[in-house]
Structure 1
């Protein structure tokens, strides 16, 4: 192997040994701190995990019940459905506290709902999607089911909630009564795939 001009083996060997000795000394001095560092890292990770577990779940119903913030239309729509509606050509959204235009007005009197959020999408050609979420009495399901079945709705009373649906001409109306909440969706001339079901799944899983 060719030597590098100007390098002295007599000088480089002691310097190399000195460097190795310095590194070894630093490792020896740092060794007692290794358990402390490992313990600190473990405590930090455990604390972060505990905070994450203690944080309220990303569920608009939990936030509404806790009174932490008012509900927004964006809260009740799953991400994929929200994007589908927001990017639909000419679609506009109006948020309010109004009850949607349903086929069974007496149902509103029977439920006496406290509307938390009401969302109405409409297109240039007049098609609409209306969805509202309201708090109702815990025993409202019985009165709601009687009124809806009497109006020709097909109902599924599988626990823990009640779901009633009716299709008439180009309209689909769906009611979900569960855990003291009333979710109502009315589709007229615009029918995204499983519209009402996807919103219910967003709220209750």
Structure 2
């Protein structure tokens, strides 16, 4: 076989080995990016009971509140916030026990005006339809809002809301203290994040 003039076999081998080395280094560097990307696309899988929904959305009380609502709550006379993992505060005890929401956090506000308790958690994807069938007998009115079901009840100074759907849960109990559109603003923070 005739050789082409001006070509050096040794030089070609060196360049080939260097190119293979660069490709190998790039492959190693992309492994963390691929695994992260697969996690974002759901490649890591999600267990039952709404664990996928629990991974996104608000992670603490401050994440629940748009700035205007946060200021209203924080500067109310005597206002105090405590974050915990307490079970939801609700008169719908049987439903809460049956659905057993996996509590992410509970925000308990107290002020001179009254108190508010909001719980965010994860539940089974059928929780909204279960709530819609069980709660009207306890004086709640329920309606569907896209993928979520909202049930609410007013009894004197007590206003309760329970929203569930898509593996997410948010419930609020307002006793004598009713900031404007509190429940809907908090519900929007839970259900519009991560969609």
TM-score of the pair, normalised by structure 2: 0.67
In proportion to residue count, which structure has more helix? 1
The answer for the alignment partner of 2:145 in structure 1 is 158
Counterpart among 60, 63, 80 of residue 92 in structure 1: 80
Unaligned segments of structure 1, at least 5 residues: 1-53
What corresponds to 2:160 in structure 1? 173
Count of residue pairs the alignment pairs up: 144
Three-state SS of the structure 1 residue aligned to 2:145 is coil
Partner of 1:200, secondary structure, is helix
CA distance in 2, matches of 1:65, 1:104: 26
CA pair 66-143 structure 1, distance change in 2 beyond 3 A:
closer
Correspondence 1:110 to 2:98: yes
How far, CA to CA, are the matches of 2:53 and 2:161 in structure 1? 24
Q: Which runs of 5+ in 2 are unaligned?
A: 1-36, 41-50
Matched, 1:190 2:180: no
Q: Highest relative contact order (Cα 8 Å, sep 6+), 1 or 2?
A: 2
**In 2, distance between residues paired with 1:198 and 1:99?**
21
Name the SS for the 2:129 alignment partner.
Answer: helix
Q: Give the TM-score normalised by the residue count of structure 1.
A: 0.64
Superposed CA RMSD: 2.4
Q: Is the CA contact 1:64–1:71 (under 8 Å) kept in the aligned structure 2?
A: no
Moved over 6 A (4+): none
* Residue pair 1:110, 1:144 contacting (<8 A) in 2 also: no
When Rg is computed on C-alpha atoms for both structures, the one with the higher figure is: 1
Alignment correspondent of 2:55: 65
Q: Secondary structure at the match of 1:187?
A: strand
CA distance in 2 between counterparts of 1:108 and 1:63 reads 18
